[in-house]
């Protein structure tokens, strides 16, 4: 079958836009909650509860189906509202979009779900996440990442626009366009959590998702490379500047999600191919666990989805390999984390891979 590059690009734009729908809900929603809390308590530095509970909170957030929780936690970590242990716990316990495959509610894989497998790997992920999260905080890991929310709140009065057209796009055209598309996609994004969609507008939803991704990429690039007045969006106590700052995060996340999806899907679907992948997944059980973990650790959810489908469709596929892939995967939340702090993103990925291999081989020894 001839590879259609244009269709491949469109499909990845649409996939990133679909993710962008609930990313917008998560990030903008959290920003508004933080804004309301700040107005009421005048405390921007408050954490998500006491630090000792962060690994537990993070692990349970990660267990929520989909990638929305990892993206929110990455934002919390960026603003120093959750510990590194909480962040690590979230990324270890998440199954990303692979959870929908096992629940039988995936739009990307037409296979029957496996609730037993979902329950088993969720339990393994929760336990591993809590344990590693606490070990990380006990050993006192610290990050050098800046508190971007605090940086946003300092020195915001400057209103000089170095580039008038870029300023109009950032603060008006692009700003309102992303909000409008996010609102349109919101009902479908909520329904997608249960594997549903609005059939009557599915075609329109496809193109709005494509448009959202394209707009976010342009918005991010203009803000990053052209617009010179970074973090100069007016008084930070105003709700509009709070939403604008959230839109900047949304644009960054969607941009990196698209880049990650594009390369991950190209490697898995085009360079490797379905036949080669199936051969890999039917080799020695020890090799399969290693391969599943390596595939799972690739940024995004494509790798986990592929392993979950392999578990359901390939006879005698080892549960231990599925567990390894589930722990190794970081979901789409890895993209904003890497964008803000490459060091922490790399540490999370490497630790996740090591833990995945250890737990995967332990699970094999236990008979899973």
Q: Predicted confidence band at 211 (pLDDT cuts at 50, 70, 90)? A: very high
Domain-embedded: residue 115: no
Tell me what the mean pLDDT of segment 144-153 comes to. Answer: 47
pLDDT at 156: 41
Which residue segment(s) compose the domain that 188 sits in? 154-258
Q: What is the pLDDT of residues 351-368, one digit of tens each?
A: 999 999 999 999 999 988
Residues 6+ apart with CB under 8 A from 85: 54, 55, 58, 132, 133, 134, 135, 136, 137, 141
Cβ atoms 31, 245 nearer than 8 A:
yes
Tell me what the mean pLDDT of segment 133-143 comes to. Answer: 79
What is the C-alpha to C-alpha distance for residues 243 and 340, in angstroms, rounded to an integer? 19
Question: Over 70: is that where the pLDDT of 196 sits?
Answer: no
pLDDT at 284: 79
Rounded to 5 degrees, what angle do the CA atoms 5, 281, 333 make? 60
Q: What is the pLDDT of residues 255-280, one digit of tens each?
A: 887 887 788 778 777 777 767 766 77
The SS3 call for residue 281 is coil
Q: Which of 125, 130, 60 is nearest to 93 (CA)?
A: 125
Cβ atoms 304, 95 nearer than 8 A:
yes
Q: Which of 10, 11, 13 is nearest to 255 (CA)?
A: 13
Could you tell me the pTM of the whole model? 0.69
% of the chain residues with pLDDT over 70: 79
Most confident of 42-56, 57-71, 77-91, 124-138: 124-138
The string of DSSP codes covering 25-45 is HHHHHHHHHHHHHHHHH--TT
% of the chain residues with pLDDT over 90: 21
Which carries the bigger pLDDT value, residue 45 or residue 175?
175
Domain-embedded: residue 221: yes
pLDDT at 306: 79
Question: Over 90: is that where the pLDDT of 56 sits?
Answer: yes
Tokens of 252: 């960054």
Instruction: Output the average pLDDT for the chain.
Output: 78
Q: How far from the centroid of its chain's Cα atoms is residue 265's Cα?
A: 16
Q: Which of 119, 116, 110 is nearest to 305 (CA)?
A: 110
Domain-embedded: residue 64: no
Domain-embedded: residue 183: yes
pLDDT at 44: 45
Tell me what the mean pLDDT of segment 314-330 comes to. Answer: 89
> How many domains are contained in the chain?
1
Tokens of 135: 């070990």
Low-confidence winner among 194-198, 233-237, 356-360 (lowest mean pLDDT)? 233-237
Domain-embedded: residue 215: yes
Domain-embedded: residue 205: yes
Which carries the bigger pLDDT value, residue 234 or residue 248?
248
pLDDT at 46: 56
Domain-embedded: residue 195: yes
pLDDT at 106: 56
What is the C-alpha to C-alpha distance for residues 368 and 362, in angstroms, rounded to an integer? 9
Most confident of 19-23, 148-152, 177-181: 177-181
Domain-embedded: residue 217: yes
pLDDT at 169: 80
Q: Residue length, the chain?
A: 368
Most confident of 82-96, 217-231, 328-342: 82-96
Q: What is the pLDDT of residues 75-88, one digit of tens each?
A: 788 778 889 999 99
Q: Which of 173, 157, 261 is nearest to 215 (CA)?
A: 173
Question: Over 70: is that where the pLDDT of 232 sits?
Answer: no
What is the C-alpha to C-alpha distance for residues 111 and 101, in angstroms, rounded to an integer? 7
- Residue 65 class from Cβ within 10 Å (0-12 exposed, 13-18 middle, 19+ buried)? buried
What is the C-alpha to C-alpha distance for residues 282 and 284, in angstroms, rounded to an integer? 7
pLDDT at 193: 57
Question: Over 50: is that where the pLDDT of 40 sits?
Answer: yes
What is the C-alpha to C-alpha distance for residues 176 and 146, in angstroms, rounded to an integer? 28
């Amino acid at each position: 079958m001839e590879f259609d590059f244009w269709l491949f690009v469109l499909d990845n734009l649409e996939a990133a836009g679909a993710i962008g729908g609930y990313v917008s809900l998560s990030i903008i929603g959290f920003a508004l909650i933080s804004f309301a809390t700040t107005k009421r308590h005048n405390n921007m530095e408050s954490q998500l509860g006491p630090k000792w509970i962060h690994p537990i909170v993070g692990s349970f957030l990660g267990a929520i189906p989909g990638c929305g929780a990892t993206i929110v936690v990455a934002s919390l970590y960026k603003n120093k509202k959750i510990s590194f242990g909480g962040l690590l716990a979230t990324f270890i316990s998440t199954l990303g979009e692979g959870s929908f495959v096992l629940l039988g509610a995936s739009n990307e894989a037409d296979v029957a779900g496996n609730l037993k497998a979902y329950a088993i790997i969720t339990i393994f992920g929760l336990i591993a996440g809590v344990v590693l999260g606490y070990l990380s905080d006990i050993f006192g890991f610290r990050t050098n990442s800046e508190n971007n929310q605090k940086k946003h709140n300092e020195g915001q009065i400057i209103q000089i626009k170095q580039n008038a057209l870029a300023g109009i796009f950032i603060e008006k055209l692009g700003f309102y366009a992303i909000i409008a598309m996010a609102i349109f996609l919101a009902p479908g994004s909520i329904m997608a959590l249960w594997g549903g969609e609005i059939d009557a507008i599915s075609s329109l939803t496809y193109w709005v998702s494509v448009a959202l991704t394209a707009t976010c990429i342009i918005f991010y690039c203009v803000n990053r490379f052209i617009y010179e007045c970074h973090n100069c969006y007016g008084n930070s106590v105003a709700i509009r500047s709070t939403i604008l700052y959230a839109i900047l995060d949304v644009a960054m996340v969607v941009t990196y999600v698209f880049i990650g999806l594009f390369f991950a899907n190209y490697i898995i679907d085009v360079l490797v191919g379905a036949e080669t992948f199936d051969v890999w997944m039917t080799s020695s059980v020890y090799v399969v666990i290693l391969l599943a973990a390596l595939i799972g650790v690739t940024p995004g959810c494509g790798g986990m989805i592929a392993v979950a489908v392999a578990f359901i469709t390939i006879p005698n596929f080892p549960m231990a390999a599925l567990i390894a892939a589930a722990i190794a995967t970081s979901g789409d939340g890895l993209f904003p984390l890497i964008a803000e702090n490459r060091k922490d993103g790399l540490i999370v990925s490497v630790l996740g891979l090591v833990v995945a291999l250890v737990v995967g081989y332990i699970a094999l020894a236990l008979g899973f």
